[in-house]
Chains A and B, each alone.
Chain A
Amino acid sequence: MAELKTVGKPMRKKDAMNLLLGKPAFVEDVTPRDCLVVKVLRSPHAHALIRSIKTDIAMKVPGMVAIFTYKDVPHNRYTNAGQTYPEPSPHDRLILDQRVRFVGDAVAILAGETEKAVDKAMKLIKVDYEVLPAVLDPHTAKDNPILVHPEEDWEALCPVGADNKRNLVASETCGEGDVEDVLAHCDVVVDHVWHTKACQQAMMETFRTYTEIDPYGRLHVVSSTQIVFHVRRILAIALGIPKSKIHVEKPRIGGGFGAKQTSVSEIYPAFVTWKTGRAARIVYTRQECQIAGSPRHEMEVHVRLGADKNGKIRALDVYTLSNSGAYSEHGPTTVGLSGHKSIPLYTGSLEAFRFAYDVVYTNVQAAGAYRGYGATQGIFAVESAVNELADRLGIDPVRLREQNMVREGMIMPAYYNEPANACALDRCMARCKELFHWDEKFPVRDMGNGKVRAAGVAMAMQGSGISGVDVGSATVKLSDDGSYNLIIGAADMGTGCDTILAQMVAECMDCDLDNVEVFGADSDASPYDSGSYASSTTYVTGKAVEKACEQLKGQLCTLAAESLGCTSADLEFTGKAVRRCDGTGEISLADLAIKSQCSNNTAVQATASHSSPVSPPPFMVGMVEIELDKETGSVTVLDYKAVVDCGTPINPNLARVQTEGGIVQGIGMALYENVTYSDKGRILEDSLMQYKIPTRLDMGHLQVEFESSYEPTGPFGAKSIGEIVINTPSPALAQAVYRASGVWVRKLPITPEKILLGMRANGQ
């Protein structure tokens, strides 16, 4: 293959300088200040029926324009999950419902001229609740006589094993081989339950949406979203209006991490605008984000891992209980990854596996999509089980993995029988081991001052898009001066996909990155794209970009043929021009662009779509060194090294920063970020004061490297990077803590308190 000029290079992000200089870019910066302020009155109860709701006094507050209650909304059940239709998540929501299902559920929508007026009116709404017993414990949710969704019009569009009369969002069992039989013949069986919390994405820009009626009488939505097309559909279903009446666009997004793959905030101002005809905006407070957002699914993962005494891993039995909370968003889909993206890591020697799950409704905040999407939870459990196995057998955990890991060319039965076409996991492990100085750091070192240093390791995988479902599209057109416009429906949420996809155009069209301008995402103007989630953009949309460029080259040759008086078969595209292969003539791109604008019947604009039948996994190894204070139980992260196989890194800088960001988020999940509830179901960690995300003092030193592989189905050999990077910290840290303290903490976060209690129980 020819030497790459732009792909694989650490190009600066196209919007980097403007973002760093604080130019207006986000919803609140680029939409008019003069619009209605929208806020939501939220339920103080985990489960209640609204007996009566009085808004007349509140409406008397000067400046109040409207207050809507469940009596005012259409009776169309829908889901907020941004997924391809028919959504696997059952349709179980109304815009406002008479039944409220968690502390924070929407009770009324208020719209007023000023924030002050709305705040005042909010206090004057009188709601009489019939408080009902709530389902707060996911263990007792299934077949509980208390139903979260007793309603008759609840509807599951896909056969995911959902049943609202059993509090079930989804349920399934799959496997290969006779797990029970293999486990019965194993020398060692590790058998434990691992528990992860409903962690918050905590993107710095909270949910926010602006809506107005455009001159055509359509609903124009400007929102901080990863999914402009899904938002259009979701709003249309909820409002009961044609999709053609809605136009959704996203400006810059202040972080998403999956939170904005759910349509959390859009419906409230949309409903206000549709009803009143007035422009409206909602901006979630951090507290609303924490209690009525779309966090990670809390999961309990029961792993039974069987091996022989030499460390050959023979069987994996994984059962996941996932807590979807009050609504089904992403419930049926996240859970699958807890097995399908953890078990295949051990394809190497596995003789049998079983993976089963239940996803239940409870009366807490509904979960959604968060980077890693279930794989994070499953990998914490399976990788921890492998680390416990290493400990039981007295085998070095790196060597144990080398013995059992999936390798290039293997078919992965637990991963829908997809092949590991490109897999450098073995090289990642070897390189990480060297970089980290594993052999020196794995032995526990007593520092002589009450502090102990120790290390841990974990592997991870993810997917690249949703196989056979996700559609990525790109339009590439020749612009006036011989430059190109790239128009996409994928959403750059800070990851840099605008730039990454432009790099691909530059590579395909053999031009400078500066010659490619990017626009997206806009449901009217962009070609259809499922959106930016499931680690799909580089891999799926990137391939669409490649295809569109090929088509455009064909069009350019057709147009040039007219000028040069030959057939397009006699022509070749050179990047700056189209020329006759025999060298007797050429026409520059700029001249072609001018020609295309005068007396021309050949479009110089190509749109291509792409969908992949497979979802090639990226792979990764992470190693962490900690220092543990035996007096206080506190853990300091000293050093984190990671080596990633994301196929070809299209932009190594952006891939590196994605990885570093994901690792730090993962450290937060492992050590600090807790979600607990009062006995009435209220979330206690409802601000950044209580919900502790890592600061720059909490992450030690990070170092990331790449071991490339070449994925034949990806653009330029690329796979994905966005999600896998959050998966290694929890198991690696749990192991390091065990090594330092003798305590396996199987319920996140790993707090000093749990470590000390464990040490005490061990008689230390």
Chain B
Amino acid sequence: MEIQLKLNGRPVRDSIDADTLLIDFVRAHGCASVKRGCETSNCGLCTVLLDGKPVLSCSVLAARADGHEVQTLEGLQAEAEEFVAFIADQGAEQCGFCNPGYVMNTIALLRENPDPTDDEIRAYLAGNLCRCSGYEGQLRGIRAFLSARNQAKEGQDRG
């Protein structure tokens, strides 16, 4: 079948098998950041934004994205760069295989809730597994980013 969608801002048209999964489709179109970690929708590594909302691309048919907009980390580099530097400063990137998935989900979180509490961060990212970091460093990184941003804002407000 023929589908047409916007992938990271670019129009893409392709003919696919009806059972093609979105994860395989975007990877075939150069989005290597999207990773697969399971077959059971349990790991969150494959998170992409479909019309701005995070979805597990391993459990969405590519056909469902027909006529919609899909974003992967390849298309959100600037937005990610802002906060991932703080995670790097914690050394919490570790092997990196889970990173794109939870970075995508963090983008979604921060768009929805720009100033989340630690518990809100944990709850929102609960579906994003990481076997290396023990999660605490990822949280410290996001927290450091939020504090730095809020401090900068306060500074601006005062100045």
CA distance A697 to B118 in the complex (A): 11
Known contacts A20-B84, A687-B39, A696-B125; decide if A494 and B137 are in contact (CB<8 Å).
Answer: no
B17, B93, B132, B139: which has the most chain A beta carbons within 10 Å?
A: B132
Chain A residues touching B, range? 35 or more
CA distance A690 to B2 in the complex (A): 37
For B126, list chain A residues within 8 Å (CB). Answer: 695-697
Q: Is the CB of B136 within 8 A of A21?
A: no
Stretch at the interface among B63-71, B95-103, B149-157: B95-103
Q: Is the CB of A204 within 8 A of B98?
A: yes
Known contacts A20-B88, A22-B33, A688-B37; decide if A204 and B134 are in contact (CB<8 Å).
Answer: no
B38 at the interface (CB under 8 A from A): yes
CA distance A495 to B132 in the complex (A): 8
- Please classify the interface of chain B as helix (H, G, I), strand (E, B), loop, or mixed, using the class held by over half of its residues: loop
For B135, list chain A residues within 8 Å (CB). Answer: 660, 664, 696, 699
B133 at the interface (CB under 8 A from A): yes
| Pick from A10, A22, A287: contact of B91, CB under 8 Å | A10
For B95, list chain A residues within 8 Å (CB). Answer: 19, 203-205, 252-256, 493-494
Of all chain B residues, the one with the shortest Cβ separation from A24 is B32
Interface residues of B in 23-41 (CB under 8 A from A): 28, 32-35, 37-40
Known contacts A20-B80, A204-B98; decide if A286 and B134 are in contact (CB<8 Å).
Answer: no
Q: Is the CB of A16 within 8 A of B43?
A: no
Shortest beta-carbon distance, A215 to chain B, in Å?
26
Number of A-B contacts defined by CB within 8 Å: 177
Known contacts A20-B84, A20-B103, A699-B134; decide if A204 and B32 are in contact (CB<8 Å).
Answer: no
Q: Is the CB of A687 within 8 A of B38?
A: yes
For B84, list chain A residues within 8 Å (CB). Answer: 17, 20-21
A548 at the interface (CB under 8 A from B): no
Q: Is the CB of A664 within 8 A of B134?
A: yes
For A72, list chain B residues within 8 Å (CB). Answer: none
Q: Is the CB of B39 within 8 A of A286?
A: yes
Chain B residues touching A, range? 35 or more
CA distance A550 to B17 in the complex (A): 60
| Pick from A21, A203, A206, A662: contact of B134, CB under 8 Å | A662
Interface residues of A in 12-40 (CB under 8 A from B): 12-13, 15-26, 28-29, 33
Q: Is the CB of B88 within 8 A of A12?
A: yes
A257 at the interface (CB under 8 A from B): yes
CA distance A286 to B131 in the complex (A): 14
Q: Is the CB of A16 within 8 A of B40?
A: no
A702 at the interface (CB under 8 A from B): yes
Interface residues of A in 450-501 (CB under 8 A from B): 493-496
CA distance A76 to B1 in the complex (A): 48
**Told that A13-B93, A17-B88, A203-B95 touch, could you supply 5 new A-B pairs with CB distance under 8 A?**
A16-B87, A17-B84, A257-B131, A286-B38, A661-B94
30 intermolecular pairs with C-beta atoms under 8 Å apart:
A10-B89, A20-B84, A21-B77, A21-B84, A22-B33, A22-B34, A22-B73, A23-B32, A24-B33, A29-B32, A116-B17, A203-B97, A203-B132, A204-B43, A205-B37, A253-B95, A254-B95, A286-B39, A494-B97, A653-B89, A656-B137, A657-B91, A657-B134, A660-B133, A664-B134, A693-B129, A693-B131, A696-B126, A697-B122, A702-B136
